């Protein structure tokens, strides 16, 4: 024989289940596109929009141990498929590396230094969107040089 439940008990259980389903389905949507989100440890993330928003490129620096590496963005794409060369508006450095940011897509002998990230400064950010002090660097970044102690 099936146990009998009062209408109040059935309503309370139904409400709880519905509320839990609503919370679980809404949580991922509220976390989408959080500023500077999704940048793994030991990586440099370049964001298409200011403030660490929009699509990103995840760049893996060389291993530690006095290694260096030049990365040209001429054939690098954001996760949304757009070309990253001359389209970066902000960045987050989650590595221990020093990074020079250049306007040098063709490998010129004298690149223009746009920005600099110090080594051992995990979480250092740069923002080139309008209204920031470095807005003149917006959409000019085309290559990077890593120095990893």
Domains observed in the chain: 44-148 (2.60.20.10)
Would the CA dihedral through 40, 98, 142, 48 be positive or negative? positive
Structural contact between residues 50 and 87, judged by C-beta atoms closer than 8 angstroms: no
Structural contact between residues 126 and 85, judged by C-beta atoms closer than 8 angstroms: no
Instruction: Round the average pLDDT of the chain to a whole number and report it.
Output: 81
Structural contact between residues 53 and 128, judged by C-beta atoms closer than 8 angstroms: no
Q: Picking from 8-12, 46-50, 68-72, 114-118, which range would have the lowest pLDDT averaged per residue? A: 8-12
Report, in this order, helix, strand and coil percent for the chain, each rounded to 5.
25, 30, 45
Q: How far apart are CA 95 and CA 91, in angstroms?
A: 12
Summary count for the chain: helices (H), strands (E): 1, 8
Q: Picking from 79-83, 96-100, 136-140, which range would have the lowest pLDDT averaged per residue? A: 136-140
- Is residue 148 very low, low, confident or very high in pLDDT (cuts 50, 70, 90)? very high
pTM for this predicted structure: 0.74
Structural contact between residues 36 and 127, judged by C-beta atoms closer than 8 angstroms: no
Structural contact between residues 117 and 78, judged by C-beta atoms closer than 8 angstroms: no
Give yes or no for residue 19 having a pLDDT over 90. Answer: no
What was the pLDDT predicted at 34?
84
Name the residue with tokens 């990230």.
117
């Amino acid at each position: 024989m099936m146990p009998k439940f009062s209408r109040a008990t059935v309503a309370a259980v139904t409400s709880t289940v519905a509320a839990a389903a609503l919370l679980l389905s809404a949580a991922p949507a509220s976390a989408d596109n959080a500023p500077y989100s999704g940048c793994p440890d030991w990586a440099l993330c370049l964001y298409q929009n200011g403030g660490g928003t929009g699509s990103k490129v995840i760049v893996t620096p060389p291993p530690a141990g006095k290694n260096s590496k030049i990365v040209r963005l001429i054939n690098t794409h954001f996760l949304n498929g757009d070309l990253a060369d001359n389209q970066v508006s902000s960045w987050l450095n989650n590595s221990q590396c020093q990074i020079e940011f250049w306007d040098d897509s063709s490998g010129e002998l004298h690149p223009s230094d746009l920005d600099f990230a110090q080594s051992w400064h995990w979480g250092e950010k740069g923002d080139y969107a309008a209204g920031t002090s470095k807005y003149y660097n917006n959409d000019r970044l085309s290559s990077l040089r890593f120095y990893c102690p």
